[in-house]
Every structure is written in C-alpha cells, then in structure tokens.
Copies of this chain bind each other. A is one copy, B any other.
Amino acid sequence: MIVTVTPNPALDLTWHVERIVPGGTHRADTGVARAGGKGLNVARVAHAQGAPVLALATAGGPTGDEFAAELASSGVPHELTPVQGATRRSVALVDEHLGDTTVVNERGVAPTAREWDALRAAVARALATGSPVRDVVDASGSASGRAAVKKIKPVLVLSGSLPPGTPDDLLPSLIRIGRDAGAIVIADTSGPALLAAADAGATVLKPNAAELAEATGIADPIAGACELLHRGASLVLLSRGADGMLAVTSDEIVRARLAEPLAGNPTGAGDAAVAACAVLMAQGEKKPTVLLRRATAWSAAAVLMPLAGEIHPSWPDLESALIVDSPPLTALSRPSTERTPR
C-alpha cells in the first residue's frame, strides 16, 4: 500500500485564454477545477499504473468541498481530514498564443494543532490497516494477472509545500509514524524541511539541484546529496530537468538521461518520479539503478502530458532509450537546467 500525504493541497483552477494582455480584460470558457498538490499527483500516477494507493490530504471550506468532489470523481482512493481553514486555490492562466502559463499559488492556511493530530492519526491508521497484498502491475509495466500477485510493502510518500505556520516538527513526526509502522518513507520537500526529513530518517529524498543547494548550502550536488545521506537518508534521487536524474547512495552514483530532452509540460514530472520509486519499492525493489531508470522514464513520460498527475503510455520506450552510466564526479558539477517546481 502506498500512502501519499499532501499537507498543503490546492484546488487547481486553469483557464485558457487566446492571448493574455497584462492589465486587460479577457473572456474565457469555463475553467477546469482539479484536486491538486504534489502528493495527489503521485497518487494519481501510481493509481493509474495499477498500484494500491491511498491519498491523504486535508480539506476545508467551499474550495475543500469542490476539491473533495473532483477527487471523488477521479477514482483515486483517498481520505480527507476535515479542517476549518479553506483549501487554498491555485490559478493557472494559459496563454494559447504564447503557450506559456502564468500561475498564482495561494500560500495556504495552516491547520490547527488538533487538525494536524487528526491527519497524523489518519496516516498511522492507513499504514496499520493497508492491505499487505494486492494485484499490481509488475515491474515490467505489463498488467499482472493472478500469477503476478505480489507482497506489497507499505510506502509513505510526503510531498509538497507546507502552509505558513506549520510546526517544524510536522514532517519529522510523519516520518517517525511511517518508520514506526515499518514503512519506506519518501519525502519530496525543500528548504529546512528537507534537512529535517533527512534527520528524521526518510528513506528516499527527491530534491532538485536548486532545492538541494539551497537547503544544504552546498553548491556541488553530489556533496549536497552526501550531506543528506550522512543525516539519515538511504537514497537521494536528484532531478536535473533535461539532464535527467541522479541516484546517490552511500555506495554508488548513477545517472540516467535521454539522449535528447523532451519538450512539454514539466509540472508534475518530479511527482511522477516519486510515484515510480514508490511503486517499485512497494514491490520490494531496492536497487538504485532500477529505481532511477523507472523514475527517470516516468518523469519524462509526465512531460509529454498536458496535466500533472499523468504519464504517457510510451514510458517503457522512454525507459529503454535511457542512457544510464556512473559518470566521473567532475561531470556532475555543472549547473542543472531544471526549473524549480512549485
């Protein structure tokens, strides 16, 4: 069972406008509302690939009602912790002419201490009661039949930003709940929370190069990744945008990339990488190279899709086409081209 936690979910609202004139007034067709947030993107991808998933998030206010309704219609299994503060909105205005998107993300409203307790209790409950065995897609990506029923390990995924005012201990406390339940814990976070997640013993961390440098204060990405390993993480998956991804453990450094970068929508690419890692680790996979290949392939396949939380079905071809090597350290110190996701 993969349990994803989205501590700062958002109702994502998207409008397409023919050509946006700053300061102007525009007409548009009805916008699309979607339950958003990085943990939900992870859950959507993993669920679509047949993995047993439970998405946990908070929801409050009228936006929370709309968020809950959209999530229910998506079919992704989920449990929402009710909160007083209204679920934040995220606004995307797509300029159809230029093809770019102007985004405004509300910062979000922090739940109360009691509401955070309720979310923590939901996480503990989900990990305790999660079905240990279920039909899943096997590691090759083909649909499994009865023959492919596998033992599923509990995986806890903690993804995305935290509302302003969130106690520093929230993420560490969730990681401890995961570890106490015997779960693999994957954290996708940034800033001081990234170091706190490493200190609390998250199994896998997935920063991008800019996030890693900012959190550790170390410009060199390998040295930064080693800092996270020293603090307590077992695997650092470093996303490098068009340069692919790196897997760094205490034993090895592996790089995976496509020969040519793909054009498309990078939003949600990192979430697809986390989903790949969660799905494989739930199936018992531990080898960094295998995890890295799948994460890089799903990440690339997400770039081909218009919406975050989806991957293109051609991902096995992308995985086959990956260039995977263990490069000399000097080759890895040039700046990454990745954009920082929200």
A residues with a Cβ closer than 8 A to B are 13, 15, 17, 20-31, 33, 62-63, 65-66, 69, 86, 88-89, 91, 93, 95, 98, 100-107, 109, 342
Contacts and interface: CB of A to CB of B under 8 A. Distances in A.
B106 A29 contact: yes
Contacts of A107: 27-30
A103 B22 contact: no
Query: Lowest 4 A-B CB distances belong to which pairs?
Result: A23-B100, A62-B66, A25-B103, A26-B104
Nearest to A85: B30
Interface hub of A63, A69, A102 (most chain B Cβ within 10 A): A102
A104 B109 contact: no
Nearest to A342: B25
Given A22-B22, A89-B13, A95-B22, A28 B105 contact: yes
Contact of A26 (B22, B28, B63, B105): B105
B65 A105 contact: no
Given A89-B13, A91-B15, A91-B93, A105 B27 contact: yes
A89 B93 CA distance: 13
Contact of A62 (B21, B28, B62): B62
Given A65-B62, A66-B62, A31 B93 contact: no
Given A22-B95, A27-B106, A30-B106, 17 more contacts: A13-B89, A22-B22, A23-B95, A25-B103, A26-B102, A27-B104, A27-B107, A28-B106, A28-B107, A29-B106, A29-B107, A30-B88, A62-B62, A62-B65, A62-B69, A91-B91, A93-B93
How often does this chain occur in the complex, in copies?
Answer: 2
Contacts of A106: 15, 27-31
A342 to B, nearest CB: 6
A66 B109 CA distance: 18
Contacts of A104: 15, 17, 25-28, 93
A232 to B, nearest CB: 30
Contact of A23 (B30, B63, B102): B102
B65 A20 contact: no
A26 B13 CA distance: 14
Nearest to A63: B66
Nearest to A107: B27
A103 B13 CA distance: 15
A292 to B, nearest CB: 27
A102 to B, nearest CB: 6
B22 A20 contact: yes
A30 B109 contact: yes
Nearest to A105: B27
A12 to B, nearest CB: 13
B69 A23 contact: no
Contacts of A91: 13, 15, 31, 91, 93
